[in-house]
Structure formats: C-alpha cells, structure tokens
Amino acid sequence: MMMMSTRRIVSSARTAVPAIRQQARAMSSPTDPEPNTEASLKFIHREDTYGAHNYHPLPVVLARGSGVFVWDVDGKRYYDFLSAYSAVNQGHCHPKIVKALIDQAENMTLTSRAFYNNKLGEFEQFMTQLFGYDKFLPMNTGVEAWETGVKLARRWGYDVKGIPENQAKVVFAENNFHGRTLAAISASTDPESYGGFGPFMPGFIKVPFGDLKALEEAVKDPTVAAYKCEPIQGEAGVIVPDEGYLREAQRICHENNCLFMADEVQTGCARTGKLLACDYEEVKPDVVVLGKALSGGVLPVSGVLANDEVMLTIKPGQHGSTFGGNPLSCAVGMAAMKVLVEENLAENANRMGKILRDRLTALDSPLITTVRGKGLLNAIVIKPHKGKTAWDVCMKLRDNGLLAKPTHDDIIRFAPPLVINKDQIEECADIIANTIKAFE
C-alpha cells in the first residue's frame, strides 16, 4: 500500500513539471531567472504548496554543506556568504561538532529540567568561565534567550532597583532586529515586522541607535530597568556605531541605575573578529544574549549570561523551557564553542574581514555606495543602476557560485563561515568584483 502511494507521488511529480515551471515564473520577481532543473523545481513547488509563505528565499535548493561550501540538489557548489544568518560560524557540518552530536545522541537527548543531567552543569561552567560571568541560563532559539533577558531586566527592576509593580520599562534601539515573537516585534520599528500584529507589549521605549543624548534622556525615567541593543545592527544592514558608543551607553546606564544588555545572537561567537562584539570597547554588559553559532548551526541552542545580582532574581518555577539545557544541546554547545577558541576563529575573522573590506572598497563601482562591517560581518549598499537592484546582484552572484541575500532592499550582507582561508576569500572577492562589473 505504501509502495503504491509512493509511486503515485513520483508519477505526479513528473507530470507536474511543466505546470511547476509556469508557477515558478509567476512567483518569481520579474528579473529572477527561473530555477533551471526539474529537481530544483519539484523541491520549490513542494515547499510553496505545503509550507507557510513567510520567507522569500533565493531560488536555490541546497542539499549538502561542508566548511565554507554548500551544494544544491544538482551537485553545483557555492560559497556560502550568509552562514545561515551567522549560525554556522564554525563551517557547515564541522566534524567535531557533528561527533559531539552523535556521541551524545546515543546516550541521552532530553531529560527536561524536572531532573538533573550530567551535561548541563558542565556546559554552564564552561560558558561562565569562558565569558567571565557568574551564571549561564541555556535556552533554544535566539529570541527565547532575548525574551529571557527582557524578563530578567524587569525582575531586576522590581527586586533590586525598586520599580513599582507593573511599571518597569526597557529601552531598545530603533531599527533593531531581535526576532519575530510578539515581544520582539513590540520592540521593533520595522513596519514589515510589526504591521498587523498589534496590540503590543507595554513598557518598551525606542531611541535612535547611536544617539547617546536620546538614550540618556530615556534612562532618566526612574521606571526604566535596562537598555538593550545589538552592538552592531545586523539585519538593519550591518550598522556599526561610532567608536566608543557602547562604552558610553553602558556608563549612562550605570549612572542612572539601569542595566546595559547586549544582544550578541548574531554578532557574538567570533563573528566580528572578537569573541563578543562588545570586546572591541572592553565593555562587559550586565546581560549578554547568545544564540545562532552557539551550536555551530547543528541544533537550536541559545543562552543568557549574567551575574548573580541579575540572574538569581528569577526563582524556581518562574521561567524555563522543556528543551533548554538538554544534554544534546549542552554537548553540541560545548563542542561548538571549543572549536571557536581552539581554531582561533575570531582572529581569522578579523584578518579575512579586513581583506574582504579592502577588496570591496577598491571596486570603486557606481553600484556600491557604502562598504561597512567588522570581522566577517560585512555589507555593501547597492544603488539601483540601469534598473538593477540588490536582488539582481544576488541572483547573479548565485549564478557565479556565491550565495548572499539582500536585506532591506538595497543592502547585501556578506558573512561567510569563519573557517574561510585567504585563497578562498580572495576568490570570493573576485566573484563579487566580476559580478558587480557585469552590471556597470
């Protein structure tokens, strides 16, 4: 019975190819080349038919990854210049991380926090010693850890600062991206994120990113518990604040008895050339949120770092997660962080990032108005030229063997795995240069 059902599916897929091609043309942007193989078309059609339409992916269907490379279903190889939004800093399928996953999966995957397990304490000790904090609270996704940080800020505000009940406020930077939950979009100023999803969380204040005067004015309010920002705004287009901003922001917060909190989900784990982006200014936030590359892209693993004064305001039963801190995630998280340290990936990101930015700056193209970034978190701003946009550039990069994705229409983010070497970064710079020149 199962075999007959499978045959029907295969037969249906074969006969549907012409219709799929027509649908792919209709769904693509006007300038999109259609996917050119039946295999790709079938995968895209299936996803568009049975999945929610909450993403607009570049039309390429990936099947395998190793290091800085990914391969599509037809075996074509590409350089990955997105790294799953900086989740695979250690490279795709790093053997040490995969081994940790397999070894632990053969023994124990999940206990819940109803019981102790033999991996959680080891992971917590490793993380606190690596980053220099008293406590580490593991979660799963980046936005879960971010919301945990917001809860900690409010609880600290009530228990330590003495803010009257239900009046605590948290300040955020405009143009941020912290996730897609209701709390995260309540902190957002991007209409595409929050539009049509109200009402929103109360007590969330927004100030311009980089504006110290606006921040100082906001935190003078005695009911403000914290200021929380990304050290570099990734989704906004790799917006790097002026040197000294983070240090001054922390000073202003502390002078007004507020917490300074850093969302390092994308910028952390060596992405910017330091273990944390805040390390550039020798700033130690009161709360640090981590995610993405905390697992090397193998599992959803995130977490929050803080000292006892903040972390111990939450008592048993007041916060938790069934999967947060599970043995599998702990083993993978430790392996992933050890790879970052043992392979000196922060130092490599710093060196390779400088090479890439130098090459991009030297292009002197009418298409590129700005080059910015730190480490291997970089972006170029594309000026529409002869009717071509950042999306068109990314489509041509795909054709030339490099995958990147536009953000906010005119920005292309370049963030390869941190294991990339000099020869590879030079080759990628050549691909980008040749692609840009083709549009001039």
CA angle 119, 125, 131 (to 5 degrees): 130
Residue 93's pLDDT band (cuts 50, 70, 90): very high
Residue 3 covered by a domain? no
- In this structure, are 146 and 111 located in the same domain? yes
- Residue 29 maps to a domain: no
Q: How many domains does the chain have?
A: 2
Tell me, yes or no, whether 233 and 281 share the same domain. yes
Residues 313 and 397 grouped into a single domain:
no
Q: Token pair for residue 276?
A: 């944390």
The residues that are catalytic are: 177, 263, 292
Reduce the DSSP state of residue 414 to 3 states and report it: strand
Which whole number is the average pLDDT over 72-95? 98
What is the CATH classification number for the domain harbouring 261?
3.40.640.10
The confidence band for 350, taking pLDDT boundaries of 50, 70 and 90, is very high
* Count of beta carbons in the 10 Å neighbourhood of residue 31: 12
pTM: 0.91
379 and 262 within one domain: no
140: containing domain:
95-343
Based on C-alpha coordinates, what's the Rg of the chain? 23
Alpha-carbon span 287 to 19, nearest angstrom: 52
169-173 and 135-139 strand pairing: unpaired
Is the same domain home to 373 and 284?
A: no
Is residue 2 domain-resident? no
Pair (374, 318) in one structural domain: no
What pLDDT was estimated at residue 136? Answer: 99
The CATH code of the domain that includes 417 is 3.90.1150.10
* pLDDT given at position 36: 60
Digit-coded pLDDT (tens) for 237-287: 999 999 999 999 999 999 999 999 999 999 999 999 999 999 999 999 999
Phi, psi of 427 (to 5 degrees): -65, -40
159 and 64 inside one domain = no
Q: Which of 305, 327, 343 is the last residue of a domain?
A: 343
Is 30 a domain residue?
A: no
Q: In the predicted model, what is the mean pLDDT of residues 3-27?
A: 42
